[in-house]
Amino acid sequence: MTKTVALIPGEEAAPEAFEPTVALLDHLRLGLEWVRPPVGNSAQETHGSTFPKQAREMIDAADTTFFGATSGASAPALFYLRWGKLTYANVRPARYFRGAKSPLAKPDGIDFVIVRENLEDLYTFAEGDLEQLAPANLMSGTWRRPLHELAPGRFAVKVITEAGSERIVRFAFELARQRREDGCPGRVACGTKHNMLPRSDALFRDIALRVAEEYDDIPFESYFIDDLAHRLVATPHAFDVVVMPNLYGDILSDAAAALIGGLGLAASGCYGENYAYFESAHGTAPDIEGQGIINPTAMILSAAMMLGYLELPEAGCALVDAVTAVYAEGKALTRDQGGSASTEAFCAAVAERL
Ligand code: ATP
């Protein structure tokens, strides 16, 4: 049966990486059907909304969505893809391609995946003025005073649920098992700040420890998140699957991207029970918009993850192999990698390898 992919290019420089990636997928002749939901500024003009009902219906009807990056106009679609479709697991691989510009002396062999909880933590957008906390008389354990007495100021709510923690940790263990089948070590590490957050982060960690007992074939380590940040940089080769709450995962996955050559290589996929969407981990790179120099590798590797999800793993591997070859050859690398190739030239090199 023909698989349908909803395409949302996003804003600023994002489409400059997105469209050539779609062209590469066309080049593979996979029989995928593209649909383009009306989203963002153009949808505002044609449909009177940046995320009209028609767009939501097209996303729902598609097998998956491929997304560029947004600086705002396409954000309602992105929020729908995440909280509307409950894509709770954000998978962000940090794999080094020989030839990429890593700041490390020996980056060869770095190959770990950050599994970031994608719906909870501080991403509830439940913020407010401290005065609002007066009715609850919420005490600060450190200040030993009701928080509203610290006003004026603001607060944000961090939410860690039992169900949300359990499903993301299980996802991480299942991924570790899958990766072990593919020749990776098959290990899980967890990062939390359970000493300073003995109820919220400690809950996430306790659940991870409990789930780890069920997966006794998969080695498990729990770290303080600050220690884990240090270890990921100092000994990145020691890691395989690394699971953590939302905000830590957001921050550390950018740090992990730096190890392997920067945001231009940072792929990402967001998986739920019934839906998944794929986007690069980087933003819209507004500072290089219109120059045709954005590195499309992150987009291409995200597309490869999407092909795996669409049960076209050979095509996904072909894309990754082509990218590997282009980096190894080093002749068509973009500026962020120390080369001088345009986005178009990089994609042409990948297409040639395909
Ligand atoms: P967001 O908050 O949406 O993640 P951001 O503010 O972190 O976005 P990015 O768009 O990710 O910003 O860009 C950060 C820096 O990295 C910019 O200088 C940008 O040009 C650069 N950058 C990001 N992605 C790429 C890419 N694919 N190729 C080259 N440079 C990139």
Q: What is the pLDDT of residue 1?
A: 82
Same domain assignment for residues 131 and 203: no
Three-point CA angle 212, 248, 123, nearest 5°: 105
Total domain count for the chain?
3
| Owning domain of residue 312 | 1-95+264-354
Same domain assignment for residues 113 and 239: yes
Same domain assignment for residues 292 and 336: yes
Single out the residue of 116, 115, 87, 75 nearest to residue 275, CA to CA. Answer: 87
Q: What is the CATH number of the domain that holds 204?
A: 3.90.190
Single out the residue of 43, 65, 42, 68 nearest to residue 54, CA to CA. Answer: 43
Looking at the CA of residue 335, tell me the nearest atom of ligand 1.
29
Same domain assignment for residues 11 and 112: no
Query: Phi/psi at 9 (nearest 5 deg)?
Result: -70, -25
Same domain assignment for residues 130 and 171: no
Using CB distances shorter than 6 Å, the residues near ligand 1 are 17, 263-264, 282-285, 287-288, 294-295, 298, 336
- Give the distance (Å) from ligand 1 centre to CA of residue 282: 5
Same domain assignment for residues 82 and 217: no
Residue reference for tokens 């290019």: 9
Q: What is the pLDDT of residue 130?
A: 98
- Determine whether 287 is exposed, middle or buried from the number of CB atoms within 10 Å of its CB (0-12, 13-18, 19+): exposed
Alpha carbon nearest to ligand 1 atom 3, residue: 283
Residue ranges, the chain, pLDDT below 50: none
Alpha carbon nearest to ligand 1 atom 9, residue: 283
Q: What is the pLDDT of residue 26?
A: 96
Alpha carbon nearest to ligand 1 atom 17, residue: 285
Packed helices 297-309 and 313-329: angle between N→C axes, nearest 10 degrees: 160
CA 30 to each of CA 4, 35, 228, 313: distance values in angstroms, whole numbers, following the listed order: 11, 15, 40, 11
Three-point CA angle 27, 30, 33, nearest 5°: 100
Q: What is the pLDDT of residue 190?
A: 98
Rounded Cα gap, residues 336 and 104, in angstroms: 16
Single out the residue of 102, 10, 79, 73 nearest to residue 302, CA to CA. Answer: 10
State which of 246, 282, 288, 336 you would mutate to test the pocket of ligand 1, scoring each by most atoms of that ligand within 8 A of its C-beta. 282
256 by DSSP, 3-state: which? helix
Alpha carbon nearest to ligand 1 atom 26, residue: 264
7 by DSSP, 3-state: which? strand
